[in-house]
Structures are given as structure tokens and as C-alpha cells.
Structure 1
């Protein structure tokens, strides 16, 4: 990377983040939502936003830290918002989504049922970051989730795995490395391009009928690479490169899910497409 790019990328990201923090929220508080907070099980979805939103964190994330930006953003806009912890390993606090992904999908299934029971809604919408944008597809495809989910929004999802910029291609040169990876942190191994898990997940098509899919990708993603591997194919799919909407958006893999209000605006559009508004660089102030 050229030296000026090393300076420009963090500077632009800092400016967008500062603008996001300064963005007015008065209009958001004027919504008609009967909700009083995030993970409020007394919240009842409004007519404007009839489905609860379940947030699914990424690898090494958790139900709080991953959503300190997006959860309030959606809650202020009238949604009943919930998040779960999943994929915990014994003796590993705070850093989750490391266990077998099929088991994590079962945890998601139980959590969605709990949210639907509490809210009285027929279906939920799911928004996930990284592994959290991919793992729900297992729930939709194999665990009956398609009957309970209206839309899945993936922010930098590992839908077709990652080469980690080619680093995973080195595994065959280190005997036993792949076995160690599988034994200690299954979810990492399962997200490598060509894993048995991903082959099964994507066999027969990326999508299931009845669910709308949105993928939000940043061209500066350094974790799920190449970034276009995040995209899905099939009916009801919308793939978005955030830089096509705002060239100044220089968020990489982590910050696109944590602080990027360009991405947040597109999440809101995906959850309520009938009232979607154009996403531009000015969306950091919305």
C-alpha cells in the first residue's frame, strides 16, 4: 500500500466516525416505537416495524461489544432489538463464536424462538456481522429457520469462506496445523475456503425460498477475502459494495460492523425496503 493511502484510510474512517457520533438523533427519538431499550423482552413490535431484529455477532465477538453502535441505532428507529451470545468455548470468556458453527446455529434457533414468543411476532429479521452473517444461513437451510425469518442482512459475512489474504494456503506446508485448528477453534477452520462445512452449506444454492438476503461488503475487508466472496447468488438477494454508495467509506472488516453508519443506513433500508432512502456519505448524519 502506498504511504499516502496508509494515512488517508484511517483519517477518512476517523472523520466518518466523528460525523456519526455527532449525528443528530432527535428525529430517531420521534419514532412511534413502544420499546424502552435493547434486549427488552417487554418490547412489542409496532405496526411500522412489526418484526423484532436479532443481532448475531462475529467470530471473537459477543452480544454487547459487537453491537454498541448498531443496536441503539435501530432501537432509536423503532425496532425491538435483541442479541445473543453463541459459540462459547469452556474457559474462554467474552470472545465467542469459536465453537462448531452447526451448534451455534442451534443456539440461534433457540434464541429466535424465545424472541418470537416474547414479542408475539410471526417472524424475525436477522442482522449478522462476519461469521454472524453466514452462520444464520445454516439455521435457515437445515434447522427450519426459513419459516421464522423474513430477512437476513450480512455485514461482511464469510459466506463462501476466506483465504485470509492467502494465508490459509500455507496450512498444507505445516503438518498438523489444520488438525490443531479444527481441534481448538472449530469455527475458524470451518470458515476456511473449501471446508466441509462451507461445501455443505452452499451445496445446492446459497439461498432458501421465502427469505430476503442483503450482503454489505467493504472493498477494504482484510479478513474475509476476497471481499466479493461474501456475495450470495439466488432470488431475493441484494449485494452491496459500500464504496459504491460512499467512496469515502474506508471501513475495514471490524469497523464496518461496529461504527459504520453508511452500513447502518443500508441495514435500515434492508429491514424496511418500502421506506428505503438513498444511502450516501451524508448518511452518517442520519
Structure 2
């Protein structure tokens, strides 16, 4: 067994009942994404329109990548006239496909570089960010500590881990397994940093959740089994809109993964957040919108 696989085995056991299961992008999917980039997302010749003047940068979640997390949402936005881009970040040496595992502050630096590239290509002054899970939280580090607030108009977080997770109480068991916390920090820094009470979370939220000049939207589901308790996803501060998807459609049973991967009711709320001047009511009927 490869060393990185041995290191990740205890982590996988810890997360077994709550982890997001994401199928890695296959060669066919990657080829499809490359083909789509000419007329779909990651098309660097795309110029934002007057109706949608800012590019949208999609930020994937933990264990995901720039393709698999966005096979539904990216085309959804492209078909509505947005210039859409997605990046890979947080790669660990020797770990293919599964990203967003490296130190979150370093991942925020990668996001900063990527946004500069997108803004240069599109000619836009600012971008809008849409992220799932860690991807809805990590950009807050960029906004708060890396000067991102000057380059971002809005951040939309889908099931973001904004204040740390208890993993439905599993993190309370870590002290009973000697060395588990150290192994988690060494093998997969981003997982350790997302645990409630971590040094990273304390720094991220010290002095307030938001920074001036950026609009924040959080879209959560009460069935989230990964970021728990689900209410901790919500932000406090000016220019914040917190949305519980079941308040829009009580019949929506999406949990953590599906909310970002396939939930068109959540997608409709994303477009409302990106273009509030043209927002329309989000209901159960939005699934066919």
C-alpha cells in the first residue's frame, strides 16, 4: 500500500459515516470538460455581458476537483449567460483526483492567483465566487487576509463549513485515540483545520465573519450530515443573506453533497445571489427552472 494511502486510512475511518462521496473525474469526463471549455466553462475567451458583468469562479469542496463538483452547476450558469471558471486547489503530493486537502491558507493563495488570471482574461474588475463545502469557506480567508475583498463582489457558499464542524459528534472522539489529531493534521491538514475550535477556524472568524464591500450568501440544508450543526454554516454581519433550502421548498431532502452537486432549487438561489436585481422567488418549482 502506498504511504499516502496508509496515512489516509484512519481519516477515512473517522469520516466513514459522514464523508461526501464524490466520484473522481474519469478520463471521459475530463475530456468532456476540455471540449466544453470552448463553448462552456473555463473558456478564457469568454467576455462578461452587460447583463452579467462579472465572471463566476467555482470553488470545489474537500475531496472534490474542478470537474466533478461542477458537472451540473457550471452548465446551468453557462446556459444563463455567465462566464464560468473553476480551479483545482489544495493538492497533496501523490494524491490524484482528490483535492482541497492541503493547508487552507495555502489554498487561498492558489485561489488568489487564479482569480487574477480570470480577471486578466475577462477584463472584469471583480469576480463572483460560488463554493461548495470547504470551497464556500476557504475564500473567506482570501477575502480577509489576502486582499481579495478588492477583487470580489459576492461570495455564495453552498453548505460551507464557516465555523467548524463536529462531524455529527465524531470529532469529540479524537482525544480518545492517541495520535489521531496529529495524524489528521499531518496527513490531511484541511480536514484538521475544519474541525470546530481549530486554530484556523479561530483565526478566520476572529473580529467578525465578513469584510466590507462583499455580499455574502449562505445556502444550507437541515439534512447536512457533514457540516454539523448545520446552523453553524450561517454568517453574521452586514450584507449577509442566510438561506435554509427547506424554507424555500420543504420537500427538498438534499444533504451536504447533493445540495452542491445536483440541487436545482439551490442552483436557482445561486443565480438570485449572483443577480439580486433580477431575482425571482425560489420554490419547489425551481427544480424545473
| TM-score, length basis structure 1 | 0.88
2 CA distance for matches of 1:153 and 1:37?
A: 21
Determine the structure 2 residue equivalent to 1:236.
239
| Shift in Å, 1:54 | 0.1
Match of 1:246 in 2: 249
Inter-partner Cα distance in structure 1 for 2:154 and 2:287: 24
Q: Name the structure 2 match of 1:205.
A: 208
For residues 175-214 of structure 1, what are the structure 2 equivalents within 5 Å?
175-214=178-217
User: In structure 1, what is the Cα distance between the partners aligned to 2:39 and 2:270?
Assistant: 21
1:97 equivalent in structure 2: 100
> How do 1:52-201 and structure 2 match up within 5 A?
52-201=55-204
Task: Give yes or no for the alignment of 1:268 onto 2:271.
Answer: yes
Q: CA deviation at 1:126?
A: 0.2
Residue 281 (1) aligns with residue 275 (2): no
Q: How many pairs does the alignment contain?
A: 252
The CA distance in 2 between the partners of 1:210 and 1:169, in whole Å, is: 37
Task: Note the alpha carbon deviations across 1:100-159, whole angstroms, 9 max, x for none.
Answer: 000000000000000000000000000000000000000000000000000000000000
The RMSD of aligned alpha carbons is 0.6
Cα offsets for 1:80-117 (capped at 9, x unmatched): 00000000001111100000000000000000000000
**1:278 Cα deviation after fit:** 0.1
1:21-36 map, 5 Å: 36=39
Name the SS for the 1:239 alignment partner: strand
- Matched residue, 1:25: none
How far did residue 174 of structure 1 move?
1.1
Bigger relative CO (Cα 8 Å, ≥ 6 apart): 1
- CA distance in 2 between partners of 1:132 and 1:83 (Å): 11
Distance 2:161 2:241 in 1: 16
User: What is the alpha-carbon distance in structure 2 between the residues aligned to residue 179 and residue 160 of structure 1?
Assistant: 21
Which sections of structure 2, spanning at least 5 residues, go unmatched? 1-37
SS at 2:256's partner residue? coil
2-side partners of 1:36 and 1:176: how far apart?
49
Give the SS at the match of 2:243. strand
